[in-house]
């Protein structure tokens, strides 16, 4: 579990980012955001967005679905609440300050848990993923979008170029897909798809599906 110190460092960093976040990141993160929402909508009606930030994605969910957004940073979440008041965010049923590793929801509450550009920021990423599983209904899906470190090639070169901007929001190229795959294998989840999205494949959308029931039957 993350120390109070690391959570407070994160909260302070995003309190500074909140006023400028949309202007700097909305366009860069757009392709990953749309793909993550598209995948999550297929999983079912009840969706939890962890680290929802300023709520850039919330307008992408249709009224046929119900979305709850949580974030560690009240400053970021205040912007999401403002969008909810001013806009037409028909799917949003709640916004709350919360830590990804300590979700205040009952077990098996959601069809999908989405975390966009968040999981590599959580010191105990596996603890957060375990908590996502706790609140997922059986057969539910986890959808992650993030920049993940690559071994070489043009994307690795791009990592170097955008490293200063990425570092400012806490993304690290140290976090690799293998870490998520290892967690999935332990937790009974399957890495069902891995899709690189714009800009130039810099971000990756990962869909994790619950295989626990199928594995029990096979055993």
Ligand X SMILES: C[S@@+](CC[C@H](N)C(=O)[O-])C[C@H]1O[C@@H](n2cnc3c(N)ncnc32)[C@H](O)[C@@H]1O
Q: In angstroms, rounded to a whole number, what is the distance separating the alpha carbons of residues 133 and 184?
A: 10
Instruction: Give the nearest distance from C-beta 152 to ligand X in angstroms.
Output: 25
CA 189 and chain centroid, separation: 17
Q: From the list 40, 47, 56, 143, which residue makes contact with ligand X (rule: CB under 6 A)? A: 56
Smallest gap from Cβ 9 to ligand X, in A, equals: 10
Alpha-helical (H) ranges within 1-104 are: 4-17, 21-25, 30-43, 74-86
Q: Is 131 in the site for ligand X (CB under 6 A)?
A: no
3-class SS of residue 203:
strand
CB atoms closer than 10 angstroms to residue 103: 21
Helix, strand, or coil (residue 186): helix
Interface residue with ligand X, options 92, 121, 144, 206 (CB under 6 A): 121
Cβ nearer to ligand X, comparing 38 with 212: 38
Nearer of residues 12 and 45 to ligand X, judged by Cβ? 12
Instruction: Extract the tokens encoding 24.
Output: 């700097």
Exactly one of 53, 79, 111, 183 binds ligand X (CB under 6 A); that residue is 53
Burial 135-157 (b: 16+ CB within 10 A, else e): bbbeebbbbbbbbbbbeeeebee
The contact mask relative to ligand X for 165-184 (x = CB under 6 A, - = no) is: ----x---------------
Residue nearest to ligand X (CB): 53
Q: Pick from 72, 91, 135, 206 the residue near ligand X by CB under 6 A.
A: 72
Which CB, 5 or 218, lies closer to ligand X?
A: 5
Q: CB under 8 Å to 141, separation ≥6 — which residues?
A: 39, 40, 43, 111, 112, 113, 192, 207, 208, 209, 210
Closest to ligand X by CB, 134 vs 211, is 134
Q: Is 52 in the site for ligand X (CB under 6 A)?
A: yes
Per CB under 6 A, does 48 bind ligand X? no
Give the binding site for ligand X (CB under 6 A).
10, 14, 29, 33, 50-53, 56, 71-73, 76, 99-100, 116-118, 121-122, 169
């Amino acid at each position: 579990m993350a120390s109070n110190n690391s959570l407070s460092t994160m909260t302070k960093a995003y309190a500074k980012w909140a006023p400028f976040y949309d202007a700097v990141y909305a366009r860069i993160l757009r392709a990953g955001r749309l793909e993550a929402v598209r995948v999550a909508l297929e999983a079912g009606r009840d969706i939890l967005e962890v680290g929802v930030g300023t709520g850039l994605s919330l307008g992408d969910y249709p009224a046929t679905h119900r979305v709850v957004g949580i974030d560690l940073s009240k400053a970021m979440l205040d912007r999401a609440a403002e969008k909810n008041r001013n806009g037409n965010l028909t799917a949003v049923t709640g916004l709350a300050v919360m830590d990804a590793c300590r979700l205040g929801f009952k077990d098996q509450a959601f069809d999908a848990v989405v975390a966009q550009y968040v999981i590599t920021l959580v010191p105990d990423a596996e603890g957060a993923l375990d908590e996502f599983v706790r609140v997922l209904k059986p057969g539910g899906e986890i959808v992650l979008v993030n920049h993940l470190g690559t071994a070489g090639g043009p994307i690795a070169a791009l990592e170097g170029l955008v490293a200063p901007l990425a570092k400012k929001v806490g993304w690290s190229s140290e976090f690799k897909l293998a870490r998520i795959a290892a967690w999935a294998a332990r937790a009974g989840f399957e890495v069902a798809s891995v899709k690189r999205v714009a800009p130039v494949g810099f971000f990756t959308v990962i869909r994790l599906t619950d295989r626990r029931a199928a594995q029990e039957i096979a055993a």
